[in-house]
Structure 1
């Protein structure tokens, strides 16, 4: 039987996502009630700019006093979609203290302070759900946290930022330069006026921290994630990738070490073979490839951003949290029992694609090969072209520790016959 007293929701933020959450909760109220087992209603919406026009949002629900809203004793669930660290962190903590569970889309906060928030939720017997924090509408957090809870995940490899994937896809398919592709992404609304968080990898790094923590049952903070942006990727890099049968993606890579005693988390551009499922992910879509011991290889694909996809993930969490409220229970909390350390980037085993501008004369290749050998890095392939005393040398290595590969590149820079290192890119996904 359905409970007649509605579950009350406080919404923090009413931008693109918050407005869509409000619309769906209003238009699909009967369906949500049937799925939950009780009516659910918005009790208040906290905003910073109350005078802004918000189509379809009841004016009487708007308030600028977010603290008073979450401290109301009748609030069952708080939905936080304001982003940032503060005041989101304080408001979520107050919600727990006042008996409310929380649904959040705040990747930056969860990547930095997830452990403290989980501890507060557990202390006050509340839920903390955050499917919308990673990859928009794609069901990913819950499968990792629940569906694969009995398995051992060894690797998570994915495209988790739609803006950067759109830019790289345009560079690949149209031959556009980085600036031209960024301008198109901005015009279409995929990139913010300040795209730094996306193109420099900060957004993807926060998501990588969350994914690594869930997948490996350990605590991984944003500061633990190695990060490189994709602003230096050029048309020449794509030309080299195509010659290798590859394309270039900005990847979030979370791995368990071969000995199982540590984990790594990193974000950087990488060449991946066209045969890999992630290579075919186009436009602003996201996709995550999960490798588990028993389940094998799984791929999750879909729109990773936008008001409707993100709202879908928020409402999925809302239904789950409300069901828990009615049952007098809570869902899974933080699982960090393995306490595995996060290894530095230097210990990651990977491959390099290195493009060198060198003098076109005898002995240059031998000198370059000697440097690789001196650092214990084996060469897979070499391609050389030359004209009028200038030459381009492209070297692809076998797998080696990133520290050894980095030291090799620094040593190459010091050779008199090397005019410059044109580009360096890792090769992944094989």
Structure 2
């Protein structure tokens, strides 16, 4: 969840510089959210539900996280204000008005048919939420860090994404047709004056209380805010990828019943400076950061799988080079497709039927880690490297932290053995 979304770290007590940074990051968030949710205006009802249902898990986590943050804050106006927010989230004593229930009412009022599995939270997002809670409650975490992570992250950053989502949502043809029957109570609270007032009050209290704390408080506030920004970017990126990959016509194209239609472009390229490239792709172009090592970073590039590798300083042959990756060496640049496991197996057999040799035969990579997948490499006749993958759990393409919620997909080892022997 750590990120460097903007300029270098502030001096500890420079609260004015922090607000300049916060405003700049918020403008970036508005741009990111606008690009992310543009497809909502023309999304089919199934895709629309796929996107909207995934936000629901945050509403439960947020209530518990705010309670944990309140418990760590010293007595004062900030603590009382967050307690008021918690009371509001819980419906001010009326369970029917609790915000998770209001969101459930909204989803139900859409009237879009869906299976139970379509409301299950994405594994990668549960991992992000678990990681945020662990960071919030870590022994060394300060109150200022928590306010940046879940105070500003929950009230300020979340509100920006919801406001932009709503802006595109109300233009969707299905929503416009059924607008009168849809329960908008949740949205009236979160994109109107109610939530804006919360955001402004929180900002004022930060100016009063954080600036008067110890010398490291503003720096801790910044770290929490940066971590929150990175987590939100990844959270919505995962949802966007799942919603745009969902294909109601999969069965018509011959996809097996119950098998997700996955065809996600994968590209790995060399860059001169890994962190400079990360800043460009994440900050400027809006990609979400996934797992990383000292020489590579996975990026959620508008739903597609881009990996940037640190290139050696010296030119190597035709500009290709070998990059270390979880105990293997892979040729960079390369491109390919992430497929579902059955299509991946069928492709491996097809390659063998044509008598084409693998550079790296079918095998399992990152076994028992988040992102475990089957892979195979081959070169085209011009020497361009191609890689094809099938993830045990496609939700973990960009996963950074292992979560107990990981769903196992039976048959991964078997399909690799079958593909290798075909």
TM-score normalised to structure 2 length: 0.24
Higher CA-based Rg: 1
The answer to which structure has the higher strand fraction is 1
TM-score normalised to structure 1 length: 0.23
